[in-house]
Amino acid sequence: MNVENKDINFLQDDRMVSSELIFDGAILRLYHNQLKLDSGQIVSRELIHHQPAAAILAVTSENKILLVKQYRPAIVEDIYEVPAGILDYHDSATEVAEVGALRELEEETGYQAKRIEKIASFYVTPGYLNEEITLFHASELVKVDNPLPQDADEDVTVYEFTKAEIKTMMAKGEIKDLKTLYALQIWLNQ
């Protein structure tokens, strides 16, 4: 991972007594940190740094939602998700979330958005993971003749669904990804 320590928020915590890098992988780093609580107690925390990501609530002109289906080895299952991906880190900086969202939308779906708006930023599992996802609403979609290619390690398939179809899928428990459920709730309540 090419991220610098200054860009990892929990390594800047003034309550930190010590920090040990346990694992430095391609997309995450695992640390064992000692923190001094306000009570004075020293506690151990295993914390994971994960590059931030962008997710896209992409809605077609027919008011259908674009979801991708892909295999997730951690749960040994193919699942539906909103298009999303890790923001690139280069030249000592993290990619701007909107730029990353537009790139991921094109890579995963073959569409570009003429209009994109930030909905919210949120943490996935803040008890031990600092991954922040910024969710965008993309509209005025245009199919691209020669889209950016999917990442070499991705194999995603794009689907379009109506609100009625999504409600049925959700009722049957067919959508299990939290960022996707959050995005879909926003879309269904518009």
Question: How confident is the model over 30-62, as pLDDT tens digits?
Answer: 999 999 999 999 999 999 999 999 999 999 999
Number of domains in the chain: 2
The residue segments making up the domain with residue 38 are 5-50
- Looking from the CA of 117 toward its CB, the CA atoms found within 13 Å total 5
Whether residues 41 and 61 share a domain: the answer is no
Instruction: Read off the CATH number of the domain in which 61 is found.
Output: 3.90.79.10
Whether residues 37 and 105 share a domain: the answer is no
Asked if the model's pLDDT at residue 152 lies above 80, the reply is: no
Whether residues 19 and 99 share a domain: the answer is no
User: Mean pLDDT, to the nearest integer, of 121-131?
Assistant: 95
Asked if the model's pLDDT at residue 29 lies above 90, the reply is: yes
Whether residues 86 and 138 share a domain: the answer is yes
Asked if the model's pLDDT at residue 154 lies above 90, the reply is: no
Asked if the model's pLDDT at residue 111 lies above 90, the reply is: yes
Question: How confident is the model over 71-87, as pLDDT tens digits?
Answer: 999 999 999 999 999 99
pLDDT averaged over every residue in the chain: 94
The pTM of the full predicted model, rounded to 2 decimals, is: 0.92
State which of 50, 69, 85 marks the end of a domain: 50
User: Mean pLDDT, to the nearest integer, of 161-173?
Assistant: 98
b/e per residue 53-67 (b: at least 16 CB within 10 A): bbbbbbbeeeebbbb
Whether residues 77 and 147 share a domain: the answer is yes
